[in-house]
Amino acid sequence: MPSLSHEALLLLFRNRPELAPELLRDALHVRLPAYSEVRLESADLTEVAPTEYRADLVVLLVDGTPVLGIVVEVQLQRDDRKRYTWPVYVTGLRARLACPACVLVITPSEAVAEWCRGAIDLGPGGAMTPLVVGPAAVPVVDDVGVAERAPELAVLSVLAHGQGDDAVHVGHAGVGLRVELLVA
């Protein structure tokens, strides 16, 4: 059963799916295809075969037709089984949507982020590397105006930087958020 921390992080993306492509573009410098819409997609990646694969969340970029499927996975600790399931998520989503797909891992731990960044060997001639946002990749949101425009990003910033040198500034920006913005 997913923990409260796991579900809280996913809620940020459910509330504002645009956060996934923003992090890919701004934090990881991934060049995204042109798109006109961002929407949530079913995270059930089950095939007709008896094994069920269910991602945490799927965000879909659309420009008339799907242009990129983003499997958002929250990883709170190392889980060696993910080295086998993440490629299934990507290929299953890619096959279902007939467009490119990737895995975006969100983790509050830099050690877990480092583990997640490792290339996954698929066999001769193939590998997959998850895109990972750990604390170091999360932008420092220390401006209340920015926090009000992007409250989910502000929450990520507080989680990532709330114990470091920027704690006072990100805390001030996070506290400046009106509560109704976070629960809308």
Domain co-membership, 154 together with 130: no
Domain co-membership, 19 together with 92: yes
Domain co-membership, 13 together with 102: yes
pLDDT confidence of residue 157:
81
Q: For residue 9, give both structure tokens.
A: 């992080």
Domain co-membership, 157 together with 92: no
Do 43 and 69 meet the contact criterion of CB atoms below 8 Å apart?
no
pLDDT confidence of residue 114:
97
Say how many domains are in the chain: 2
pLDDT confidence of residue 21:
95
Domain co-membership, 100 together with 143: no
Per-residue pLDDT tens, the chain, 184 aa: give them: 778 899 999 999 999 999 999 999 999 998 899 999 999 998 887 666 567 788 999 999 999 999 999 999 999 999 999 999 999 999 999 999 999 999 999 999 999 999 999 999 998 788 999 999 999 998 888 777 877 788 888 888 878 876 766 655 555 555 555 544 444 4
Domain co-membership, 126 together with 148: no
Q: How far apart are CA 91 and CA 101, in angstroms?
A: 7
pLDDT confidence of residue 119:
96
Domain co-membership, 68 together with 57: yes
pTM for this model (two decimals): 0.75
pLDDT confidence of residue 91:
95
pLDDT confidence of residue 127:
95
Do 133 and 141 meet the contact criterion of CB atoms below 8 Å apart?
no
Q: How many CB atoms lie within 10 A of CB 183?
A: 9
pLDDT confidence of residue 154:
82
Helix (H, G, I), strand (E, B) or coil at 73: strand
Q: Residue 144 sits in which domain range?
A: 138-184
Q: How far apart are CA 36 and CA 101, in angstroms?
A: 17
Q: How far apart are CA 87 and CA 22, in angstroms?
A: 22
Q: How many CB atoms lie within 10 A of CB 144?
A: 16
Domain co-membership, 34 together with 79: yes
Q: How far apart are CA 70 and CA 72, in angstroms?
A: 6
Domain co-membership, 154 together with 181: yes
